[in-house]
């Protein structure tokens, strides 16, 4: 909520928000489940400030809808985006499916993710968590077995 307060202070002083500010305030709206306000801000980006929404902004809107439990709306929103959703946007919806126990939609989103990134182990792990949470242990076990063939990329650190 601090990001929203800072945004309001910024606007009161007549300062123009940029793309980065909108990522912050849209993310804050997602965390607070302020769906209507988030959409209002998203629309204001272009109509009021002349900014073009990028993948990050669309990802925030998908996250906003997903956290609020509006999973089908989030999926429909992805389909209407002016460009193809990347793994980050699909991952936001997948996380919301796990959070809300939406097995069927989670499976559908996982298939899209697996098509775009077949060797990324994170998608398998997240789908396995969805299955396990829904007490579909047989599906989770089969998926974990399939993960054995997937190469897990090592983590990197600049420290």
Whole-number Å distance between alpha carbons of 134 and 35:
27
**Tens digits of residue pLDDT in 122-151:** 655 666 667 666 555 555 555 555 555 555
Mean pLDDT of 4-15: 94
Least confident of 85-99, 110-124, 136-150: 136-150
Share of the chain above pLDDT 70, in %: 73
**Side-chain half-sphere of 107: how many Cα atoms within 13 Å?**
9
DSSP code of 102?
-
Residues 108, 76 contacting (CB under 8 angstroms):
no
Mean pLDDT of 76-85: 95
Mean pLDDT of 57-65: 97
Instruction: Please tell me the predicted confidence (pLDDT) of residue 124.
Output: 59
- Can you read off the two tokens belonging to residue 90? 């699909």
Residues 128, 107 contacting (CB under 8 angstroms):
no
* Structure confidence at residue 51 as a pLDDT band (50, 70, 90): very high
Alpha helices in 48-86 (DSSP H): 55-67, 71-80
């Amino acid at each position: 909520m601090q990001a929203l307060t800072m945004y309001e202070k910024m606007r009161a002083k007549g300062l123009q928000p940029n793309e980065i500010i909108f990522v912050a305030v849209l993310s804050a709206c997602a965390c607070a489940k302020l769906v209507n306000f988030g959409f209002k801000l998203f629309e204001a980006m272009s109509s009021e400030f002349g900014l073009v929404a990028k993948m990050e902004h669309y990802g925030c809107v998908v996250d906003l809808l997903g956290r609020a439990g509006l999973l089908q709306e989030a999926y429909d929103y992805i389909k209407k985006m002016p460009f193809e959703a990347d793994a980050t946007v699909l991952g936001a919806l997948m996380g919301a499916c796990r959070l809300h126990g939406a097995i069927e939609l989670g499976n559908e989103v996982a298939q899209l993710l697996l098509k775009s990134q077949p060797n990324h182990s994170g998608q398998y792990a997240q789908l396995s968590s969805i299955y396990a949470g829904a007490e579909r242990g047989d599906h989770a076990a089969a998926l974990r077995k399939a993960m054995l063939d997937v190469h897990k990329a090592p983590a990197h650190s600049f420290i």
